[in-house]
Amino acid sequence: MSDVIENAKRALGLVDLTNLNDDCSAGDITKLTGRTVTDHGSVAAVCVWPRFVAQATRELKGTGVKVATVVNFPAGGEDTGAVIAETRQALADGADEIDLVMAYRAFRDGRKGFAEEQIIRVKAEIPAPAILKVILETGEIGDPLLIHAASNVAIAAGADFIKTSTGKVSVNATLEAAEIMLTAIEETRRENAERVIGFKPAGGIRTSEDAASYLALADRIMGHNWASASTFRFGASGLLDALIDTIEGRTPAAGQGY
């Protein structure tokens, strides 16, 4: 089997199949959940708006596919009470994973403590085995040193994963940001081998080649056996079809969306 096909098979099980389109409907969610189990294995999760969590949970019952949702999305606002209420409702509706947008503007403006406290308070609402992914919005933070610092803030505040982007801004996942974030994760592992932090690049990852590049980066920094569904996810909508095309030997069509 070629490395290209092997990488595509590896990536398929790491996909958070996503629909966060503004016009998403219940019918779109049914189409999304219907794509999760393929002839080549299942994706890791779906990622949907909070209003669709209960539906996605029903439709995925028994598949082993997790349901993720977004809170404080996409603006990364400062109404922590509202974010906590949103989180509680999502968990009550069956969410397995909460993707929280960090208050990145507050962080970028020097209010590190506010951003950290919001994450701490949201994490406190999430009982195991549910997990918290913190979206840094690296394209808006911009500065590499600040991206590294934001990674450390999110990790210290209890993030189970750190995630690059919402997919709603002009610059989303990049390999440069991924390297910074994975380095922060590796530094944490060196300090505390028992602390497991995952990584999720999201936004603009559409081809098998894109996926292979991120996996190669993770292998280089974290070790070849590190990336699994418990430590690595791709946030994407068009990527799944591209991976299946690669596995089945077709020329992939251009992926669309998130």
- Exactly one of 93, 96, 99, 160 is catalytic; name it: 99
- Exactly one of 66, 160, 200, 241 is catalytic; name it: 200
On the 0-12 / 13-18 / 19+ scale of CB atoms within 10 A, 110 is: exposed
Task: Report yes or no: 205 and 212 within 8 Å, Cβ to Cβ.
Answer: no
Whether 168 is a known active-site residue: answer no
- Exactly one of 93, 163, 210, 241 is catalytic; name it: 163
**At 243, phi and psi to the nearest 5?**
-65, -45
Tell me the C-alpha distance between 107 and 198, whole Å: 21
Whether 200 is a known active-site residue: answer yes
Q: How many CB atoms lie within 10 A of CB 223?
A: 11
- Two tokens at 171? 């610059």
Q: How many CB atoms lie within 10 A of CB 65?
A: 20
Whether 163 is a known active-site residue: answer yes
| For helices 53-60 and 26-34, angle between their N-to-C axes, nearest 10 degrees | 30
Active site members: 99, 163, 200
